[in-house]
Structure 1
Amino acid sequence: MEQLICVIRNLELTNKINYQWLKKAFLTVGLFLLPYLSLSQNQKIADSLVSILINGSIEDSTRLKLLEEITFNQTSTDSILFYSNLLIREAKLINDHIYVHKGYYYQGEAYKLKGDLEKALKAYFDALRILKQSNFKSDVGTTYAAIADTYSINKNHKNSIYYYNEALNILRSQNDSIFIATVLLNAGDEYYNYEKLDSAFLYFEEAHLIFLKFNYEIGLAYSLGNIGLLFAKQQKYDSAQINIENAISILNGFGDNYAISDYQIQMSSIFLENNDYTSALQYATSGYLTAKKEGLKEQIRDASLKLSELYQSQGDFQKALEFQAQYYVYRDSISNAETIQRMADLRTEFEVSRKQAEVDLLSKTKQIQQIVAIGLVIGLLLVAGLAFTLYRGNQRKKLINNILSAQKEEIEVQNDLLENLNKTKDRFFSIISHDLRGPVNSFRGVSKIIRSYVEKDQMDQLLHVTGLVDQSANQLSSLLDNLLNWALSQQGNFPYRPEKLSAASMANEIQEIFGNIALAKNITFNKIIEEDPEVWADRNSALTILRNLVSNAIKFTPEEGEVTLTLDMQDGFAEFRISDTGVGIPKEKIKTIFELNEKNSTYGTAGEKGTGLGLILVKEFVQMNGGDIHIESEEGQGTTFIVTLPLSKEQLVISHE
C-alpha cells in the first residue's frame, strides 16, 4: 500500500503539467500539437501500476485512481480501450460518476486514435451524459472540445464549429485561459476549412492575444502560423510570409521540426495554387530539407510529391522523376511501418489478455483464502484448503509457461512473415526498376533518332520511328496499369462491384483491343463463341484478366501464328479459353508462374519484356470473382489458359465459401 501511495504521488508531481495541461489543452488541437501529447504517456509507468493492481490489496477509491493512471499512460489504443472499459465497470459498481465519465472519455480518445469516429462520438456523448446527470461542470467544456475535434477529423465542419463554441461558452465561465486559447485556435481552423476566413481570423487573433498575455510561446507559434496561412489564402503573401517565419522562429526554439516542416509544405501548396512557382519551390525545398534532417517520413513523403509536381511544371523531368520515386519509397515505407505496428498491437492485446487472466485468477484465489480463513477451526478444512491452494499455484505456473511458450512461437512466426514480406518487396522493386528502364531508355533512344532525322532533313524516316514510340508507350502503359491494379488489390482498395455481364460482349471488346496488335505482328486472332452466357463478375477486373492473357498470348506467339479466344459454358460457369501457337511454358515454370519472381519475367517473340506481374493480377482477380484458372502447355507447341467465371450471384457466393 505504501508503494502504491508513493507511485501515485510521484505521478502527480512529474505529470502535473503534462497531465493537467497537455492532456487538457492539447488533446484536441489537431495536426501540430498532437506530438506533444505523447510526452505525457509512459508505458513503463503503466506496466508498473498494472503490477501493483494485480498484486496489491487496494481499497475502491484508490483502485479507481490507479486504473485511471494506467489507462492514461497506455501507448496502445487497444490497451486504452481495455482499461477504460475496466474503469467504467468498476466505477459503476460503486456508483462513482466522475470515474465513469473518465472511462468513457478515454474510450472516446482510443476510438478516435483508431479512426472509428462513430464509436468515439458515442463514448464522448456517454461521458457528457454522465457529467450532466451528476451536475459535474468542470469537465463539460473539455468533453465538448473532444466532440468538436472528432467532428473536425471527419470533415464535418458545421458540427465541429457548433461544439467548439459550446465548449467556449463553458470554458469562458471557468476562466481556463490557455485551454480557451487552444479551443479558439481549433475553432478558427474549422472556420478556415469552411472557407469563412473572416471568422477564422477573429478566432486566431483572440487566441493569439491570450497566448501573448501569458507569454505561452508554443501557442503563439501556432496562432502566428495559422494567421499566416490565412493571409496566404487571401493572397496577402507578404503578411503571410512574416507570420509564418515568426512562427517557425519560435518553433525552432522548441526544436519542433515536425510543425516547421508541415507549415513550409502547406505554404508551398498555397503558393502553387496561386501559380507562384518560385515561392512554392522555395517552401517545398525548405520543408523537405527540414524533414530529411529529422527523418520525418510523412513530411518527406509529402514534400517529395510537392517537389515532383513543381519540377514537372518547370519542365525539369529528371528531378521530377527522382522526387516521384522517392515519394513512392517513403509512401511504401510508411505503409510497411503501419503493418508492423498493427502486428505489435496484436501482441499487446495478447499480453493484456494474459494479465487480465492473472487478475481473475488472483481474485478467485483471494475468495478461496477468505473461505479457508472462516473454516480455520476445522483442521481438515485447513489442510484441504492449503492443498487446493498449492494445486492452483502449480496450475498457474503451468499456464504461464504455456503462454510464454505460445508467445515465443508467435513472435518467431511474425519474424518469419516480416522477413518474407521484406524479401518480396525487394524482389518487386528489383523487377520493376529493371523493367522500367527498358521503355524509358527506348524513349531516350527514340528522341536521339528523331533529332538525327530532323537535322538530316529525312522526314520520311520518322514514320518508322512512330512504331518504336508506340511499342515503348504500350509496354510502359501496360506495366503501370498492372502496377496500379496490383497495389490496389494488395491494399484491399480495388473497387469490386459484381454485376451481370455479357460474356460475348467482353470477348468482342477484347478482340477490338488486340485485333490490330495481332495484325501488326502478322498473327491471326480467332474468336469462337459457342454460346452467349451472362456471367456474374466485376467488369473491370474481368476485362483485366482477359486483357493480360490475350496480351501474353500475342507476346509469346511468333509471326504467322494464331491466337484463339473461345467462349463456352461448363457446369454453372462461363469458360474462356485463350490458346496460342507460341513458344509454350516449361513444366517446372508452370508451378511458380503465379508468384512474384524475377525468373518468371520472360522476353516475347519480338523482344517484348514484362514483369510477370500480370499473371499475379490474373490469379488474384479470378479468385476475387469466384472463378478458377488452369494452364495447358507444351514447349514449342503453344499454351492454353482456361478461366471460369460464375454464371449467377448464387454460384459466386458458393465459390467464395
Structure 2
Amino acid sequence: MNKVRGYFLTQGCSLTKCLFVLGLFFLLHPRNYAQENRKDSLLVQINKLRSSQNFSYKDTLHIKMLNDLAQELRFYKVDSLLLLSQDALNHSKASGYNTGECRALMGLGDYYSDNGKHKKALLYYNSALSLSTKTQNKDLILESKDNLAGEYSYRGDYAKALSHYLEGIDMATEFGDKKMLSIMNENVANLYAAQKDYAQALIFYKKVKKFNEEIGNEVFSAETMSNIASIYADMNKLDYAMFNANSSITVFEKHQVMDWLAYAYEIKGKTYLKGQKYKWALHWYKQSEMLHQNLEDFRGEIDLLNGMAKAYFGLKKDSLAEVYALKAFGISERLKFLKGKQQCAETLYKVNKNKNDFSTALKYHEIYQTLSDTLTRSENRKSLTMLKTKMEHEKQKEDLIKENKKQLSQQRNYMYASLGFLLIFIVVSFLVHRSDKIQKKLNIELKQKTEDLELKQNELREINETKDKLFSIIGHDLRGPIGAFQGLLKLLKEGEVGQSEFMEFVPKLRHDIDHISFTLNNLLSWGQTQMNGSVTRPSLVNVESIVKENMHLLSEIAEKKSIKLSSQLSSNTVAWSDSDQIDIVIRNLMSNALKFTPNNGMVTISSNEMSHFWQISVRDTGVGIDQEIIQKLFRKKSNVTTYGTNNEKGTGLGLSLCKEMVEKNGGDIWVESHIRKGSTFHFTIPKAKKKYQQAG
C-alpha cells in the first residue's frame, strides 16, 4: 500500500496539563530529530506567550500554534493531537476565529481517521469543508477536500475518493496551488496503484515529479520517490524500486522525517522480499520497526508487520510469521482498514494452509476474497476508467488546440506575406486550395479503400477461423466414432466378428451415433451463425414447453445414470425470442449438466421473473468447474474437448453456440460453479409484452 500524502504545516487537556505532559515526554526521550526541534520550539513559544502580560486564550497566534503543535504530534502522541485540537476548537469558537476552527476540525478528523473511526472522521472533515467554503478560504477548502478523499480511500470507497480528488485538482489548478496539485495527483496515482493499474499510476507520478521540481522541496520529492519505489516493487522492477527507495531514504535521514523514513525502510524491505532475499528484507523491516516504537502511525505499521510475517514465512519460520500477521490483522480490524485487512488475511491463509489447519485457512481465504471483491468492485473500476477517458480526451483537445494555433499562425504568416505580394498570394492560394482539394479527395479514397481492405481481412480471418474450427471438430470428435463404426462393419463383413458379437457393440454404436448427431446439429447451427446465415426471428415462446420436450428427449440418458430431471418452471414463463435458438441453448445446457453429473445426481431447471427479462437457470449436482476453465468457457475461439463422469465426449462448441444464441436474442449468459458441489448456468431472455401474450 502506498502512503497517502497530506498537507502538513511547515511554519508554523486541560491544555496546561497536556503541555506539561508533552514537556516531560521530550525531557525523558531526548532525540536529535529536526521534527522534535520543531515541537520543542512550539512548546517554548506557547509557554512564552502565556507568560506574557495581558495574555488571552483567544489570541489567534496562540490558537495557530496549538493547531501547529497538534499536527507535529500526529504520529508521535496521538492523544495530544486530540486534546490540542479540542482546545484550539473551543478557543477558536469563543474568539470567532474561523481559520483556527477549521484547522482544529481537521485535526480532530485526523485523530479519528488514524484510529479507524471513519464516520467521525468524515463528520469533522465535512464540517471543515463547509466552514472553509463559507469563508471562501481557498487553502482550507483544498486541504479539506484532500482529507475527505483520503478518508474515503481508507474505507475502500475509491469512487468517492476519486470524485473529491478530481474536484480538488480542478480547484488547485484554478488557484495555481502547485503544492496541492502535487499532493492530490499523487494520491490519485495511489488509487490506480491500489487497482494494480501501474501504467496509469506512473502517468500521474510523472505529473507529480514535474510539480515537485517546480516547487523545489526535496522532502516532497522524496515522499513521491518512496511511493514510486513501492509501485516498482509491486511491478517486480526491483532495480528501479531500490534506486527510488535509497534516494528517498537519504533525504529523510538528512531532514529526520521519521514517519516517512520508517515507510521508506519498509519499502526497501518489501523490495528485498519481492526478490526472495528474506534475511535482508527482515533487516530493513526491523529498521522500520525500531522507528515505529517512537511513532503512532498505525496504518504504516500494518504493512510493516505483514511484510515481516511474509519474510518469516519465506524463511519457513511459520510461528513467527503467524504472530506478526495476526498483530497486523488486529490493527487493521481495529482501524476498519479494508486494504490492510485484505493483505493480512492472505498471509494468514498461506500460514494456516502450510500448517494443515485448513479450517482456519479457509476462514481467512474467505475474508480475503470478500475484501478483494469489495475493493475492486465495478464502480471503482468504472470511475478510474472514466478518469482515464477524461484525461485522454483532454489530451486530444489540448493537441487539437495546439494544432489549430499552429495552423492559425501559418495562415497569419500567409496573410502578412500577401500584403506585399498580392499577386503571388492569389496564385499560391489557388495552388494550395487545389492541392488541398486533391489531397482531401485522395485521403478520402485512401481511407475508404483502407476500411474496405480491413473489412475484407476481418471477414476472411473470421471465415478461416470458422473453417479451422469446423475441420478441427470434424477431425477430432467426429472422425473417431465414424472410423470405429467403419472398422466394426469391415470386421463384420470379413467374418472376423460374428453377429452376436456385433450386437454387443450396438449400444455403444447407438451412443456414438447420438453423439455424432448432437454434434452435427450444433455444428450446423454454429456454422450458420458464423456465415451470417442464421436469422433471429423472435416470437412468443413458452419456455416451459421447450424444457419439457428436452427433458423427454434426454430422459433416456438421465435414466442410464439414475439422474433426476426436475423442472420448476411455471406455464406463464412466456418469452419474446427465437424458439429454435432457445431450444438449442436449453438442450446444450441440459446435455452438459447430465454429462458432468455423476450417477444418482440431480439436474434442476428453474426460472426467475425480473422486470423485463426471464432468468432461466440449469443447476446440477455435478463435479463443478475450475475458475481458470470458467474464464475460457464462452470464448469464441475456445475449442476444448471435455469428458463427462461416464467418459462422455464433448467438443466445447456447445457453450460458444449458446452464448451466440442468447446474445442474438438480447440476453446474457454466465455460470456459477463450485468444485465437487455442482454448477449453475444462467441465461436471460426478454419477457413477452402483455399485449403479445393477450394476442397469443
Name the TM tier (shorter chain): 0.3 to 0.5
The TM-score with structure 1 as length reference comes to 0.43
Higher relative contact order (CA 8 A, sep 6+): 2
Greater Rg over alpha carbons, structure: 2
The TM-score with structure 2 as length reference comes to 0.41
